[in-house]
């Protein structure tokens, strides 16, 4: 049933709460300031800006108002935002929309631009050559997870349909790779396709699994922890003597079984969550892996540290080439390297940095992260 709410009453309640919180901050010596920018003389925008300034005054925070002429350029507007961002007395910046047509709203109001400004401020004095290279790149490009390390090659894989098993698939290195029946594919020229499925494995990528002496040899036993669609293992299935496939997402179970159906004699599936302990819905590598292991690839959305604790026996008793993702959480790289070193492994990391702004702790750290920790004895 729909519920009728009193918007004015709720607004008043929120303002009173903010007024009280602002007073508490002032007692602690903290003064708040909001900078409001309006470009042009749109009548409705002028009303909104006046109301924002009145609201600031009511709850007890300062406001700075910048009314810019409509011919203000995008470069001039961005410069003002950057100057305000560098002003320690300003706690928030609000650009009133709409802006004139010659200004790109995405670039002046988008979260990505704010992240770029914060990063460029934080790392402006860095001596790290790789970070300096990133700063130069951001000077004329938008930020992304991989930035300049990955080039879009636009390799397309046409999507086909298996009417017997009712699942879509693509041809990947002369083998069928299946997807969930409701998978959201990209559309090109009216047809469903998968684009650049191996883009993260380009030579310059900070997310590169195979590098230097971290390679897969003929007859190796592989543990693919975090399989998803299975492209990593499918590339090496004919070279490996055995592959352990770890993927707890139930949605991928049928597609993976179908993808590796022809190789079922050398594949072991595990659908449980991988971690430190062994239980009803979770397990660890030491429980599943029997005997030899030559290569470990791990990408499990930030659970890598716990999973490595659960692989002590396997890693101690074998000389395993390891490629472990280290970008999901702040501090993962050091933790992963420390664990592997305690097992007698020498560690290195991938080249370049990933900008993983999807993680919960990114905005408190603004850290650039290595994508992969490599290890071997």
Write down all domains in the chain, each with its CATH number in brackets. 34-109 (3.40.50.10860), 116-143 (no CATH), 156-199 (no CATH), 204-376 (3.40.50.150)
- Helices 43-59 and 7-27: angle between axes, nearest 10 degrees: 50
CA distance 344 to 187: 48
240 phi and psi, to 5 degrees?
-80, 155
> Cα–Cα distances in Å, from 47 out to 37, 43, 44, 51, 55?
13, 7, 5, 6, 12
Per DSSP, the three-state class of 307 is helix
Position 5 scores a pLDDT of 65
Neighbour-count burial of 8, counting CB atoms closer than 10 A to its CB (0-12 exposed, 13-18 middle, 19+ buried)? exposed
pLDDT (tens, 9 = 90+) of the chain, 377 residues, equals 456 667 778 778 888 888 888 888 888 888 889 999 999 888 878 888 888 888 889 999 998 989 999 888 888 888 888 788 778 888 888 888 888 888 876 666 566 777 888 898 899 999 999 999 999 998 888 888 998 888 876 688 999 999 999 999 999 999 999 999 999 898 888 899 998 899 899 999 999 999 999 999 999 999 999 999 999 999 999 999 999 999 999 999 999 999 999 999 999 999 999 999 988 889 999 999 999 999 999 999 999 999 999 999 999 999 999 999 999 999 999 999 999 999 999 999 999 999 998 888 888 889 999 999 999 99
Q: Which residues contact 362 (CB under 8 A, 6 or more apart)?
A: 330, 356
Residue for token pair 């992304």? 144
CA nearest neighbour of 330 among 298, 354, 296, 309: 354
Neighbour-count burial of 219, counting CB atoms closer than 10 A to its CB (0-12 exposed, 13-18 middle, 19+ buried)? exposed
Tokens of 9: 């009453």
Q: Which residues contact 264 (CB under 8 A, 6 or more apart)?
A: none
Beta bridge partners of 117: none
CA nearest neighbour of 36 among 126, 81, 109, 96: 96
Task: Decide: 273 and 225 in contact? Cβ < 8 Å.
Answer: no
What length is written for the chain?
A: 377
The strand order across the sheet containing 295-298 reads: 267-270, 242-246, 221-225, 295-298, 321-325, 372-376, 346-349
CA distance 27 to 300: 45
CA distance 308 to 367: 23
CA distance 270 to 237: 17
The secondary structure of residue 71, as a DSSP letter, is T
Position 110 scores a pLDDT of 61
CA nearest neighbour of 120 among 141, 95, 93: 141
CA distance 321 to 212: 11
Residue for token pair 């055995």? 242
Outline where DSSP puts E strands in 154-238. Answer: 156-158, 160-162, 167-172, 175-178, 186-188, 191-195, 221-225
CA distance 190 to 238: 34
Tokens of 140: 């004329």
Position 142 scores a pLDDT of 80
Q: Which residues contact 341 (CB under 8 A, 6 or more apart)?
A: 347, 375
- The answer to whether the predicted template modeling score (pTM) of the entire model surpasses 0.75 is no
Per DSSP, the three-state class of 281 is coil
Position 1 scores a pLDDT of 47
């Amino acid at each position: 049933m729909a519920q009728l709410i009193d918007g004015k009453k709720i607004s008043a309640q929120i303002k009173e709460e903010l007024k009280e919180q602002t007073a508490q901050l002032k007692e602690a010596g903290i003064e708040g300031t909001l900078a409001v920018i309006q470009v042009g003389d749109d009548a409705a925008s002028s009303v909104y800006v006046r109301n924002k300034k009145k609201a600031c005054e009511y709850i007890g925070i300062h406001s700075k108002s910048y009314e810019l002429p409509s011919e203000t350029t995008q470069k001039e507007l961005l410069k003002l935002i950057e100057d305000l961002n560098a002003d320690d007395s300003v706690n928030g910046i609000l650009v009133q929309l709409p802006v004139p047509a010659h200004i790109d709203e995405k670039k002046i109001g988008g979260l990505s631009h704010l992240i770029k400004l914060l990063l460029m401020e934080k790392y402006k004095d860095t001596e790290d050559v790789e970070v300096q290279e990133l700063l130069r790149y951001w000077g004329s490009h938008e930020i992304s997870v991989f930035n300049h390390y990955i080039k879009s090659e636009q390799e397309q894989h046409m999507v086909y349909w298996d009417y017997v098993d009712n699942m879509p698939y693509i041809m990947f290195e002369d083998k069928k790779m299946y997807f969930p029946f409701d998978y959201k594919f990209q559309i090109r020229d009216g047809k469903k396709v998968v684009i650049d499925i191996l883009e993260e494995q380009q030579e310059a990528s900070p997310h590169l699994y195979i590098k230097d002496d971290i390679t897969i040899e003929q007859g190796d036993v592989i543990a693919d922890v975090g399989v998803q669609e299975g492209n990593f293992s499918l590339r090496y299935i004919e070279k490996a003597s055995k592959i352990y496939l770890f993927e707890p997402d139930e949605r991928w179970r049928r597609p993976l079984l179908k993808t590796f159906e022809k190789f079922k004699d050398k594949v072991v599936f595990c659908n449980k969550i991988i971690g430190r302990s062994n239980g009803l819905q979770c397990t660890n590598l030491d429980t599943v892996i029997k005997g030899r292991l030559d290569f470990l690839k791990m990408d499990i959305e930030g659970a890598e540290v716990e999973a490595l604790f659960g692989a002590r026996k396997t890693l101690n008793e074998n000389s395993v080439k390891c490629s472990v993702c280290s970008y999901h959480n702040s501090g993962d790289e050091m933790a992963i390297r420390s664990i592997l070193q305690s097992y007698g492994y020498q560690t290195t990391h991938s080249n370049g940095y990933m900008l993983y702004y999807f993680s919960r702790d990114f905005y408190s750290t603004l850290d650039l992260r290595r994508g992969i920790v490599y290890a071997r004895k």
